[in-house]
């Protein structure tokens, strides 16, 4: 297209977020052309079972068919003969909407070639520091790793680029744990609250993946690393809402036995909410350390004044001291996350064009 930037894009992952992203790319073609003079040429759609590739660009009809039927036709992406990063155009953007570390070798090879990378998958950035060092550069974007489409990463980058001194970050980064904290604050039994959250679709299929706090810890670790904290995940103090011994149980056994945690968590919630405080599961990043767990906060505080199920990040800085900079809102959901990924793709496409010239 004359006058348009033709941006090749390879999509890794065709789960809920990946499918929503494909639909949004197709349905915003005209806006991207009018607003950004940009055409996103999707050259491949790849998931853990199969891949569909065409370096000249898949048609919108083919993309929507892939969404309807997931993927088809070609071998799994982790099979050597299926495709190679070396075959991709030199200005390709790889978009990772998976939730696996299996894509890391592909991402690292892409970075070595100087390709662009957009991450909704937080595992590579919260993995070993060597991965962070290789992936977190000017040719990468990762806004949706810490709050769906909320501009948390962009705000922190702006603070750091402006020379502000970020002294402390607080964040409630899990809507699931926010829901459970609100239930505990209201006096609901923990076991019943967990089963309700699962029935409502707020948790992972196995709620222990949320209750352990690791998802919130990974999000906070990404923010901490942006501040320059050379931390590994093992360095994070993580409060799990269930004992490690319960990992040996089957899912059904866990859901039956989780009621045993009612009393200890009732007592912990009561202690933290004494005096009218609000219960939150939150991260605190300060003084080179990172902790995530239950806290009691003042109702009028930034953490206490937003809905418990919303994500919120509070930046305490030299310039934002009396009234800290706060970003809050819906921090989860396939459609909103996909919209954030699309925003990252467009932003990176602009940046790659500037770098090329």
Angle between helices 334-356 and 29-36 (to 10 degrees): 40
Residue 277 DSSP one-character state: P
Phi, psi of 61 (to 5 degrees): -65, -45
Place of tokens 């994070």: 236
Cα Rg of the chain (Å, integer): 21
Residue 245 DSSP one-character state: G
Return the half-sphere exposure (C-beta side, CA atoms, 13 A cut-off) of residue 215.
24
Residues across the chain: 357
Strand locations in 3-143, DSSP E?
5-12, 38-46, 51-53, 93-96, 116-119, 140-141
Tokens of residue 321, six digits: 């001291």
Contacts of 163 (CB under 8 A, 6+ apart): none
Question: Does residue 302 have an active-site annotation?
Answer: no
Tokens of residue 255, six digits: 């859901």
Its sign, for the CA torsion 35, 39, 44, 45, is positive
Distance from chain centroid for Cα 154: 14
Contacts of 39 (CB under 8 A, 6+ apart): 1, 4, 5, 6, 7, 29, 32, 33
Residue 34 DSSP one-character state: H
Tokens of residue 114, six digits: 């100087």
Strand locations in 65-185, DSSP E?
93-96, 116-119, 140-141, 166-172
Q: What is the DSSP code string of 197-226?
A: HHHTT-S-SSTHHHHTSHHHHHHHHHHHHH
Q: In whole angstroms, give the CA distance from residue 336 to residue 6.
A: 25
Give me the catalytic one of 111, 122, 198, 219.
219
Contacts of 264 (CB under 8 A, 6+ apart): none
Catalytically active residues are 219
């Amino acid at each position: 297209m004359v006058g348009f930037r033709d941006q090749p894009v390879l999509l890794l992952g065709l789960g809920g977020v990946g499918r929503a992203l494909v639909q949004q790319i197709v349905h915003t073609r005209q806006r991207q052309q009018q607003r950004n003079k940009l055409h996103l040429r999707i050259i491949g759609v790849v998931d853990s079972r199969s891949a569909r590739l065409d370096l000249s660009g898949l048609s919108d009809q083919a993309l929507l068919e892939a969404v309807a039927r997931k993927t088809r036709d070609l071998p799994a992406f982790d099979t050597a003969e299926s495709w190679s990063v070396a075959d991709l155009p030199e200005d390709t953007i790889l978009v990772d909407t998976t939730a696996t570390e299996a894509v890391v070798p592909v991402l690292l090879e892409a970075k070595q070639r100087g390709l662009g990378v957009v991450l909704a998958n937080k595992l590579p950035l919260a993995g070993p520091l060597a991965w962070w060092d290789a992936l977190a550069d000017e040719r990468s974007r990762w806004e949706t790793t810490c709050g769906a489409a909320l501009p948390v990463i962009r705000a922190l980058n702006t603070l750091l680029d402006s020379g502000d001194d970020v002294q402390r970050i607080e964040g409630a980064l899990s809507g699931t744990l926010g829901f459970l904290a609100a239930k505990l604050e209201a006096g609901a039994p923990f076991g019943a609250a967990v089963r309700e959250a699962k029935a409502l679709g707020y948790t992972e299929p196995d709620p222990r993946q949320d209750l352990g706090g690791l998802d919130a810890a990974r999000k906070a670790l990404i923010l901490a690393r942006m501040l320059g904290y050379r931390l590994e995940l093992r360095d994070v103090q993580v409060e799990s809402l269930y004992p490690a011994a319960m990992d040996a149980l089957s899912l059904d056994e866990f859901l039956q036995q989780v009621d045993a945690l009612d009393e200890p968590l009732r007592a912990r919630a009561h202690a933290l909410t004494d005096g009218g405080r609000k219960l939150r599961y939150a991260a605190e990043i300060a003084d080179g350390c990172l902790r995530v767990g239950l806290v009691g906060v003042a109702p009028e505080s930034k953490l206490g004044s937003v809905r418990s199920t919303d994500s919120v990040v509070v930046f305490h800085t030299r310039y934002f001291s009396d009234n800290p900079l706060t970003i809050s809102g819906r921090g989860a959901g396939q459609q909103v996350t996909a919209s954030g990924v699309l925003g990252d793709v467009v932003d990176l496409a602009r940046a790659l064009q500037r770098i090329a010239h």
